[in-house]
Structure 1
Amino acid sequence: MPDSANNEDVGLRERKRRRTRASLVAAARRRTLEHGLAGFTVEQLCDEIGISRRTFFNYFPSKEDAVLGSSDEVLPQQILDGFVASGRTVPPKPLLDALTDLLAEFGARMAISREEYRLMSAVLHREPQLIAKLFARAESKAQLLVDLIAVREGLPAEHPVPRVATFVLGGLARRSLDEFFAEGNELSYPDVIRRNIDALRYLFPSSPALQNQNQDTT
């Protein structure tokens, strides 16, 4: 019974923490749209939510980070490990197939509504300087994918394949987000990203000769 009670307390604290974080993000975005990023202070945001300034900085390092929201969306380590391991099977899963599955899995775990996506787009339109910070976040995730591809394929860190694959697939993933949240779309994000990657396959059909040439250069 004590363990059960402790687990329940932890669950309640985590739910409260998530609610507070979500409230901060929603209020920061609303104020940004109404007054601009420079039109309100952290103190005003804290007063609205009913928390202290110290508590605010337990959630976000800056007002800009509160507007952008959480950047904690990461896949479980076992899924990342499975991506790497899929290159060790016999025969190995093709890299593009493995990347498709990885991006589809990430998209399926997104916890953002269409309204939240539109709101964020409106915020970025009003305060375009936030885009640079958003790109910086994306860059760290892109580097993780570059590293995973290099390990999976047994390629040296400076090899162009991991970087090019991340650049191309990252662009498709972002475009797929726009399509997924578009008015009238009824497809899931995994369906959208798979459809777009199928279009990529059509444009650049796999060439065994080219694959062998790439392996010879490693």
Structure 2
Amino acid sequence: MAGQSDVGYPAGMDTTPAVQACSPTAGRRERKKQRTREALVDSAFRLFAQKGFEATTVEEIADAVDVSSRTFFRYFASKEDVLLTFQDEQFTAMKEAFAARPADEPVITALRRASVSVVRACEDGEFGFDPERFGCIQHLMESSPAVFGSSLEHGQKKHAEMTRLMAERMGVDPATDVRPHVVAAVVNGVFHTAFELFSSDILGAERFSDVLSELLRSLEDGINFPAAAVETSSPS
């Protein structure tokens, strides 16, 4: 037909993938995908809170949204991946907050202020974070070894990115300087130690962010503590 291309687009219309992606149809399709993804996340967290992580199946999560399990796996590799996606959002927010700290701020000080501010935002439901989801993850990490293990492994996979962030602020090359690697490894351990202390209620803190802040401040102050056997000289 005159005035039409062979694939049904008006003659002269640019049909390259980049332009098609900007079309109203593509925009609606992306919005629908985002709504489906968010509905699956809502369903998963609701069921995790009601039934526990192990007792919840992918089929139940999908059924609650009226989609198939196959559709679920288009968005997530596993039900663990739903939880890790929330942690990815936290990590992204932390990186942005860390980068926004004053350039002359020491690396641990900047990290403490950035990470504690993000965790408190999660606890308080600020900046788009859902406090109920954050609380659910905290509970599942206490009650489910599978969730705790997945979270630990996921954090370790971010070691390279953490090392890069530390090196960038320190102004050193991580290929030749071991300090960014040490800092990244220690900080990763601090996060998990903070969770263990918070779960055991050893410190009696009401908020995870308070425990994290205390541990990072201890690291910031320096952890090369003197041995108990060292005798202090008495005043003359």
- Give the TM bin, normalised by the shorter chain: 0.5 to 0.7
Distance in 1 (CA, whole Å) between partners of 2:33 and 2:167 is 36
Which residue pairs with 1:105 in the alignment? 117
The structure with more helix, counted as a fraction of residues = 1
The equivalent of 1:197 in structure 2 is 216
| Structure 1 match to 2:162 | 145
Distance 2:175 2:206 in 1: 40
Alpha-carbon contact 1:150-1:162 (below 8 Å) kept = yes
Paired residues for 1:171-182 under 5 Å: 171-177=189-195, 179=198
CA distance in 2, matches of 1:185, 1:126: 19
Q: 1:128 and 1:101 mapped to 2: Cα distance?
A: 30
Structure 2 residue 63 is the aligned partner of structure 1 residue 51 = no
Runs of 5+ unmatched residues, structure 1: 1-8, 87-91, 206-218
Matching residue of 1:216:
none
The one of the two structures with greater contact order (alpha-carbon pairs below 8 A, sep at least 6) is 1
Q: TM-score, normalised by structure 1?
A: 0.61
Query: Which structure has the larger Rg?
Result: 2
Question: Is 1:26 aligned to 2:45, yes or no?
Answer: yes
158, 162, 169: which one aligns with 2:187: 169
CA-based RMSD: 4.2
Q: 1:1-218 counterparts in 2 under 5 A?
A: 16-17=35-36, 19-30=38-49, 33=52, 37=54, 41-66=57-82, 70-73=86-89, 74-75=92-93, 78-83=96-101, 86=103, 92-110=104-122, 111=129, 113=131, 119-120=136-137, 123-124=140-141, 127-153=144-170, 154-177=172-195, 179=198, 185=205, 189=209, 191-204=210-223
The aligned counterpart of 1:89 is none
Gap runs ≥5 in structure 2: 1-27, 123-128, 225-236
Count of residue pairs brought into register by the alignment? 188
Question: Between the two proteins, what is the percent identity of the paired residues?
Answer: 21
Q: 1:78–1:47: structure 2 CA closer, same or farther, 3 Å change rule?
A: closer
Q: Describe the shift of the 1:62–1:158 C-alpha distance in structure 2 as closer, same or farther (beyond 3 A).
A: farther
1:20 CA drift (Å): 0.7
Aligned-pair CA distance for 1:27: 4.6
